[in-house]
Amino acid sequence: MELRQLEHFIAVAEVRHFTRAAERVSIVQSGLSASIRALEAELGADLFVRSTRRVSLTAAGQALLPEARRALAASRAGRDAVLAVEGLERGELSVGMSQVLPPSVDLPAIIAEFQATYPGIELRLWQAGPAAQFDALREGRVDLSFIPLIDSPEAGLEVTPLHTDRLVFACALDHHLASRRRIHLRDITQLPFVDLPPEWTVRQLVDRAFAAAALQRRGAIEVNDVNTCLELVRRGVGVTILPESAQARTEAVAFRPLARRLLWNLVVARTAGGPGNPAARELLRRVLRTSAPVG
């Protein structure tokens, strides 16, 4: 079993399509198919259920996937350890990040500077909720995650606080609450909310706050990105509650303080004692130097 075969297997497993998987690993489709068939022959089991419409994992494929990811992660760590001696001339770096980043953590600027210094490092950015990013960290699919956190990190993971934001109420400029000095949760229970997905930390903070106050609120619509959320709020579709940093995205929405203090905490997470990837260690060093971690 070769690492190249595992890389091909993971690509098909993640995109569920042989043509797109071949493009992802820069190989012709016939070569990818041959590689998968050779791996299946060596293991003595089919890894995929193939049809004209879709590709799915068999039970054997599902069992192999996490082990294959760990094997590739270990291989990358070994390779990158050697490349570190050469000054990070080559390597890979996978970073998970939140859609909401405060001005004090200017990750795009830090990444741009990093890429200018180390152009040979292949950088991948990925946005997802904390639970998905924690899974990706444990499985070695990402090296660092910049995510909001409510509860203590899971075993085997380490976090450094970077920024704390207050949650604020957002509404259209002509909304009757746009000039209110402070917003009480009890005053907005009957307003239609533009919500973010339940797995997002800000949504969990909002849901917990209303539950703790024994209040029920009215949900109107759910979207999966902050810009769409703000645009719907601007047009009067509903109201929302977001980290204060979201104010930097628009001046066409009114943001008002909440009477109840709700805090949104951004952290950088990695595996305990890590990251093992030298490029990730260098990026982490730059972030901690620039962002002045809190706590």
pLDDT means per 10 residues in the chain (295 residues)? Answer: 90 91 91 93 92 87 93 85 69 87 85 91 87 88 91 84 94 96 95 92 94 90 93 96 91 96 92 85 90 59
Domains: count for the chain: 2
Residue 144's DSSP bridge partners are: 95
pTM: 0.65
Q: Which long-range contacts (CB under 8 A, 24 or more apart) does 207-212 make?
A: 208/150, 209/185, 209/260, 209/262, 210/185
Torsion of CA 239, 266, 123, 134, to 10 degrees: -100
Distance in angstroms (rounded) separating the CA atoms of residues 159 and 275: 11
Helix axes 107-117, 278-291, angle to 10 degrees: 130
Distance in angstroms (rounded) separating the CA atoms of residues 47 and 36: 8
Structure tokens at 191: 């307003």
H or E element: which one contains 233? helix 226-234
59 domain residue, yes or no: yes
Question: What backbone phi and psi angles, to 5 degrees, belong to 53?
Answer: -105, -30
Q: Which domain holds residue 250?
A: 163-264
Cβ neighbors of 182 (< 8 A, separation 6 or more) are: 256, 257, 258, 259
- Residues 127, 200: contact at Cβ < 8 Å? no
Q: Find the CATH number of the domain harbouring 19.
A: 1.10.10.10
For residue 255, which of 164, 198, 163, 182 has the smallest C-alpha distance? 182
Question: What backbone phi and psi angles, to 5 degrees, belong to 181?
Answer: -65, -45
Residue 169's DSSP bridge partners are: 241, 256
248 domain residue, yes or no: yes
- Residues 177, 171: contact at Cβ < 8 Å? yes
The per-type count for the chain, helices as H runs and strands as E runs, is: 9, 11
233 domain residue, yes or no: yes
195 domain residue, yes or no: yes
CA-only gyration radius of the chain, Å: 22
| pLDDT at res. 127 | 86
| pLDDT at res. 292 | 60
79 domain residue, yes or no: no
154 domain residue, yes or no: no
For residue 62, which of 7, 10, 133, 3 has the smallest C-alpha distance? 10
Q: DSSP code of 239?
A: B
253 domain residue, yes or no: yes
Q: Find the CATH number of the domain harbouring 171.
A: 3.40.190.290
Domain boundary among 25, 42, 68: 68
